[in-house]
Amino acid sequence: MKKEQFSAREARWAAEMPTREAELRAREAETAAARAEAEATAAATRAAKARKAEEGAQRKAEDAERLRRKQADHEARVAAQVEKADAKAAAPAPAKP
């Protein structure tokens, strides 16, 4: 290439430089906004997952407590029936006429 072509290219680049700088700044701003939006979305997702995990743990605890009460009630009924059967067996049987 000739020297005139180099200087013409350099002049063109120099003329386009403010436009390029403006485009670069705009892209940087868009990138920053996109990153902030992505981080906000990720934070919201993490918060929702944490909330769901807490709700799940609470639900499991409630289910476990309900099952424990149900088993205790059942064991109490069985114990009462066993006690009643033992009392009946210990009582003398009435004589048959």
Q: pTM of the full predicted structure?
A: 0.52
Q: Can you give the pLDDT at residue 13?
A: 85
Give the Cα separation of 53 and 51 in Å (integer): 5
Instruction: Give the residue-averaged pLDDT of 69-91.
Output: 94
Helices (H), the chain: 3-90
Both tokens of residue 12? 């063109």
Q: And the tokens for 29?
A: 């701003």
What digits encode the pLDDT tens for the residues 56-76? 999 999 999 999 999 999 999
Backbone φ and ψ for 76, nearest 5 degrees, come out as -65, -45
Cα 72–Cα 74–Cα 77 angle in degrees, nearest 5: 110
